[in-house]
Amino acid sequence: MSARTSIVIGTGVAGAATAFGLARRGVTVTMVEAEFDGRATAAGAGIIQPWSSSVDGEFYRLYAAGADYYDELIRRLAETGVHDIGYRRAGALVVNRDSGVLDDVEARVAARAADAPAMGTVSRISGERARELFPPLGPDFEALHIAGGARVDGRALRAGLLAASQSLGAVVVPGTASLVSAPRGGWAVAVGDRVLEADSIVVAAGAWTDRVIEPLGLRIAVEPQRGQITHLRVGTADTRSWPSVHPVASHYLVAFDDSRVVVGATRETGSGFDPRVTADGQRQILENALSVAPGLADATLIETRVGLRPLPKGELPIVGALEGFDGLYVNAGFGAAGLTMGPLVGDRLAAVIDGETPPPAAGLLAPVAAHR
């Protein structure tokens, strides 16, 4: 049976994408937003370049499909009057001083090219050419250029998804959501002194998801992982067409339109719900960035954003109906991949909730067995 009314708890990329997917299918949607400090979508750097990643299997397939989905997403948003989500396909540079390391990456990317239409042309380029594309880059690097590499502004993406959902009739209710027993059986959502009911409830509260489902006596094992990300201003440089830079490590550099380069990020597992900028985190970020791009040494430090990534216990995000709880769904656990995967997965979950597609028996979107 399809759901004609739905409540989505959380308006990060996972929740906002699910709400848009439901609204464009004609479902009446209410979104609840608590505005917690440290929301991952508001801090994410937004690199869309999965193809050089060393991950494999189902996670990689979902990662690549998320990148491919952006063209479709942009078209659908434009149909509602949303035309800017901070998305630009400016390319990506995978850089390293060891040619053997780049050989391995190049072989991996080449093996994936046939199944990745968004990847575009891939070419090995000289360090000199790489510095023309990204001027602060240091000497002695070899580089692999991936033309389809892109970036998206997480805040603009969220705003666009919310605006599109609202144009289709969705409403946003501010406040902290709690699951409560519904007067006619099942579950409802309490926000302040209001109790909201719907055919389906989607908990997409990021790192806070276990807190929301706690009244059920359940947990899905998503924990916060702090990520600190620093924004630099590079004088008056025109950075609009600068590619993202991937030094075959956990850190990166990505340029935006306003003479801004974003560098990071820390991966602080065990941080708890602590959205602080720390001295050691700032040191790590800047040391890593300047080791790759010493030309950023004179850049102005604008701000450091902190996101608490929803880190799942397993490899894949945790998305699907909660077993044993009719009409209750979760959409969380994207870790550092939320801005790439989130829009696609939100739409796929909406299709399941609406009855457009059946849930699979196993894997992503299969019923979720939560733990007590």
Domains of the chain: 90-149+223-311 (3.30.9.10)
Give the residue among 14, 105, 34 at the shortest CA–CA distance from 344: 14
Whole-number Å distance between alpha carbons of 254 and 260:
9
Place of tokens 């409560």: 180
Q: How many CB atoms lie within 10 A of CB 108?
A: 16
| Sequence-ordered list of residues with C-beta below 8 angstroms from that of 206, at least 6 positions apart, any chain | 10, 12, 14, 39, 40, 41, 222, 308, 309, 310, 332
Residues of the chain short of pLDDT 50, as ranges, are 1
Whole-number Å distance between alpha carbons of 262 and 351:
34
* Strand ranges inside the chain, DSSP E: 5-9, 28-33, 47-48, 92-96, 122-125, 142-146, 150-151, 171-174, 177-181, 187-191, 194-196, 200-203, 222-233, 244-246, 252-256, 260-264, 268-269, 300-312, 318-321, 328-332
Residues, the chain, total?
A: 372
Whole-number Å distance between alpha carbons of 222 and 332:
8
Can you read off the two tokens belonging to residue 56? 């494999």
> Is the distance from CB of 29 to CB of 292 less than 8 angstroms?
no
Q: Side chain identity at 114, as an amino acid letter?
A: A
Q: How far is CA 332 from CA 96, 229, 251, in A?
A: 33, 21, 23
Can you read off the two tokens belonging to residue 9? 């708890």
Give the model's pLDDT for residue 1. 46
Give the model's pLDDT for residue 372. 66
Whole-number Å distance between alpha carbons of 348 and 345:
5
Q: Phi and psi of 319, rounded to 5°?
A: -140, 125
Give the residue among 248, 286, 290 at the shortest CA–CA distance from 104: 248
Q: Phi and psi of 334, rounded to 5°?
A: -85, -10
Give the model's pLDDT for residue 3. 66
Q: How many CB atoms lie within 10 A of CB 289?
A: 25
Whole-number Å distance between alpha carbons of 62 and 40:
19
| Sequence-ordered list of residues with C-beta below 8 angstroms from that of 194, at least 6 positions apart, any chain | 173
| Sequence-ordered list of residues with C-beta below 8 angstroms from that of 275, at least 6 positions apart, any chain | 37, 38, 226, 306, 307, 308
Whole-number Å distance between alpha carbons of 43 and 225:
13
Q: DSSP letters of 187-226?
A: EEEEETTEEE--SEEEE--GGGHHHHHGGGT-B--EEEEE
> Is the distance from CB of 96 to CB of 251 less than 8 angstroms?
no
Give the model's pLDDT for residue 109. 97
Q: Phi and psi of 118, rounded to 5°?
A: -75, -10
Is 0.85 topped by the overall pTM? yes
